[in-house]
């Protein structure tokens, strides 16, 4: 049954953050010294206002805020917080590879996204080889 209040208010349920997701900018191979930013995105009502960043196997937070600059190898995840609770994201892996003359940071997602990133990297390498041969 509709009431007169329903005509004036659009009530939404109040929720803790739901399914936080980490986005990575830029993606792919990054030369050591370049900036790699992890961004925590969450859907909630009211919006998440506080974010904490953790490195797996460490008890205390390694950063705060919606974005975090990863400068070392490890598995990182974020927690999004509002007054109704908090929720943890899946972890992403940041790996620093020591190559000839430079270090490369490779970032992969923990939940299947790593396979896509590897395919993209392989395609880029093939394109570079083709360009160098021509």
Instruction: pLDDT band for 4, please (50, 70, 90 cuts).
Output: low
More confident residue, 127 or 29: 127
Q: Confirm if 23 and 39 have CB atoms less than 8 A apart.
A: yes
Say how many C-beta atoms besides its own lie within 10 A of residue 23's C-beta: 13
More confident residue, 52 or 44: 52
Per-residue model confidence as pLDDT tens digits over 86-119: 999 999 988 766 555 554 555 545 554 555 556 6
Residue 34 has pLDDT above 70, yes or no: no
Phi–psi pair at 47, nearest 5 degrees:
-60, 150
pLDDT of residue 45: 87
Domain coordinates in residue numbering, the chain = 12-133
Q: Measuring CA to CA, which residue among 104, 84, 99, 82 is closest to residue 26?
A: 104
Q: Confirm if 111 and 90 have CB atoms less than 8 A apart.
A: yes
More confident residue, 73 or 114: 73
* Mean predicted confidence (pLDDT) in 34-46: 86
Q: Over pLDDT 90: what percentage of the chain?
A: 32
Query: Which CATH superfamily does the domain covering 12-133 fall into?
Result: Immunoglobulins (2.60.40.10)
Residue 67 has pLDDT above 80, yes or no: yes
Q: How far apart are CA 42 and CA 86, in angstroms?
A: 10
Q: Confirm if 79 and 101 have CB atoms less than 8 A apart.
A: no
* Mean predicted confidence (pLDDT) in 10-35: 76
Burial class (CB in 10 A: 0-12, 13-18, 19+), 54: buried
């Amino acid at each position: 049954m509709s009431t007169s209040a329903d005509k004036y208010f659009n009530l939404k349920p109040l929720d803790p953050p739901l399914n936080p997701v980490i986005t990575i900018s830029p993606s792919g191979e990054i030369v050591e010294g370049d900036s790699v930013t992890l961004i925590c995105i969450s859907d909630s009502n009211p919006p998440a206002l506080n974010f904490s960043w953790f490195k797996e196997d460490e008890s205390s937070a390694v950063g705060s805020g919606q974005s975090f600059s990863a400068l070392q190898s490890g598995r990182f995840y974020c927690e999004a917080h509002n007054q109704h609770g908090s929720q943890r994201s899946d972890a992403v892996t940041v790996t620093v590879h020591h190559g000839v003359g430079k270090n490369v940071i490779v970032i992969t997602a923990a939940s299947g996204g790593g396979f896509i990133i590897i395919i993209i990297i392989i395609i880029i390498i093939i394109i570079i080889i083709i360009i160098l041969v021509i």
